[in-house]
Amino acid sequence: MLVGLLLSCFVSSANSIFNTTVSRAYTETLRLKIANGRSLVKKELQLHPGNAVALLVENQQDFLTLCVQQDPTTYEHLLAAQEDRLRKITALTEQSPWVDYSMAEVRLHIALSKLLFDHKLAAAWELRRAYLQFVANAKKYPSFLPNKKTLGTLQVLIGSVPDTYKVFLNIIGMKGNIQTGMANLKTAATQENPFRQEAVVLLALLEHMQEQGKNKSAEATLTKLAKSEPDNLLFSFVAMHILKKNKHSEQALQVYQQRPAGPAYIAFPYLHHMAADLYLYKGSFANSIRENQLFLQQHKGEHYLKAAHFKLYLAHWLNKSVKQADHHYRLIEQTGRSVVEEDAYALRFTEAQTQPNRYLLLARLQSDGGYYREALTGLQQMQLTQSTPKAEKAEYYYRKARIYHGLEERPQAKRGYEQAISASENSTLYFAPSASLQLGYLYLEENDKKKATAYFRKAMTYKGHAYKNSIDAKAKLALLII
């Protein structure tokens, strides 16, 4: 009798569990079948309103909807719903790793939602509180794997922040460490837990970001994951992203064309924007135009609008449709914001008020898509003369080096990078720092650590160029590996 009473007390107090219904709701949510996930989690919360894990999955549905659709008209409502869930979880008296983890995770969702809609100060405050909660959870529940997933991710990202900002983060208690973070993330990705797939995705993406040598393995992991779950739209997006980053455009287009679709999935307009890039690289200008037009019709957010009009300008200009090209050129300045790098680049292009060099533009696009032979053939038709502008000469050498690098013809790539550095001398062109970074990678692959270190450090010495923060961050991360 006493044993039965004690057991019933224990069971009734352990409300926060990742049960079968929550698991199904989470799976549907991760597939971006948000309506299906909402229906399942609603049933769970009707039976167990204090299940913190169910509240977390429900919150994930709102968070993913905001991230994917970026609709400002739904922001206030979905943010309020997230804050209400945080209050409910905080009010729970249950002592459980799931409660504390859900609290931290929902707070992180709130922080990132605010950041997405440019409420930076409020986002920073919530991010700090979330991070400190994850740290406290790690001390209280050191073997709880879901916490290692998110804490590890944050440790890596904070550890990757440029030194100029790191001092401030240290002052407010947000200390990152790349090695510790990757170890935490790897543990969550390699041991069974309900959020293992999330950890696998995050680990692959961060390895791709951190280590040049992990590009192929990250791609293999994410494409395998997408193939194993062909009905998962989120995994299709991640596979497209990594293939596009690795300049495997044909494979990325195949993933796009075979992506799951139907009324069960939430609209994902950004996929059209990605596809537009892939078609542009391929020289399929009509398809690129169509995809970006679909993106502009469906996308309700303020990001990527300048980039979409810029790509539409390029596609029309390369297709010799001058009137349409001019129309989209004007819209670059008139629409959207310049917060994300794509939009900022588009705006800088209009501010420079220069028409692109057709040879260099095609070489860049084809090279970005992995069409190296076509890029090289086209670029070799460009003749350098004494009257060739400095910027075009520097870009010519840089593009040729990138093409040879992609073709794995190392001596020609090295020579081209050195020529790009020399041609960019006494300027704020980004070709010299970027060429230095790429030379660092080449020498690191050859295990010539002395030269690799010298070039990574050289990359960070250049000032005033458009990609200062990102190139410095990449060089710094590479130096940590050596």
Torsion, Cα of 16, 20, 26, 29 (10° steps) = -140
Dist. CA 191–CA 47, nearest whole Å: 30
Gyration radius of the chain's alpha carbons? 24
Q: Is residue 475 exposed (0-12), middle (13-18) or buried (19+ Cβ within 10 Å)?
A: buried
Contact 167, 145 (CB under 8 A): no
Confidence (pLDDT) at 10 = 37
Q: Which residues of 5-25 are buried (b: 16+ CB within 10 A; e: fewer)?
A: eeeeeeeeeebbebeebbebb
Closest by alpha carbon to 405, among 362, 372, 430, 380?
Answer: 372
Dist. CA 257–CA 251, nearest whole Å: 10
Going by pLDDT thresholds of 50, 70 and 90, the confidence category of residue 111 is very high
Percent of the chain with pLDDT over 70: 95
Closest by alpha carbon to 188, among 197, 179, 180?
Answer: 197
Contact 21, 44 (CB under 8 A): yes
pLDDT tens figures, 331-362: 999 999 999 989 999 999 999 888 999 999 99
pLDDT tens figures, 279-338: 999 999 999 999 999 999 999 999 999 999 999 999 999 999 999 999 999 999 999 999
Average pLDDT over residues 34-50: 97
Dist. CA 165–CA 217, nearest whole Å: 31
What is the torsional sign of CA 355, 360, 366, 367? negative
Average pLDDT over residues 145-149: 98
CB atoms within 10 A of CB 407: 15
Closest by alpha carbon to 133, among 74, 161, 174?
Answer: 174
Going by pLDDT thresholds of 50, 70 and 90, the confidence category of residue 166 is low
Dist. CA 403–CA 150, nearest whole Å: 37
> Cα 432–438–441 angle (5° rounding)?
145
Going by pLDDT thresholds of 50, 70 and 90, the confidence category of residue 9 is very low
Contact 328, 309 (CB under 8 A): yes
Reply yes or no on whether the pLDDT at 11 is more than 80: no
Confidence (pLDDT) at 170 = 62
Residue with tokens 């013809």: 409
Average pLDDT over residues 420-448: 96
Reply yes or no on whether the pLDDT at 161 is more than 90: no
Q: How many residues does the chain have?
A: 482
Dist. CA 75–CA 19, nearest whole Å: 30
pLDDT: which is higher, 10 or 332: 332
pLDDT tens figures, 83-95: 999 999 999 999 9
Q: Is 3 helix (H, G, I), strand (E, B) or coil?
A: helix
Dist. CA 4–CA 392, nearest whole Å: 81
pLDDT tens figures, 384-411: 999 999 999 999 999 999 999 999 999 9
Dist. CA 471–CA 455, nearest whole Å: 12
Q: Which of the residue ranges 2-6, 48-52, 341-345 would you say has the lowest mean pLDDT?
A: 2-6
Confidence (pLDDT) at 160 = 78
Confidence (pLDDT) at 215 = 87
Alpha helix ranges (H) inside 15-96? 20-30, 34-47, 52-69, 72-90
Dist. CA 336–CA 301, nearest whole Å: 8
Reply yes or no on whether the pLDDT at 6 is more than 70: no
Alpha helix ranges (H) inside 233-269? 233-245, 249-257
pLDDT tens figures, 196-217: 999 999 999 999 988 777 789 9
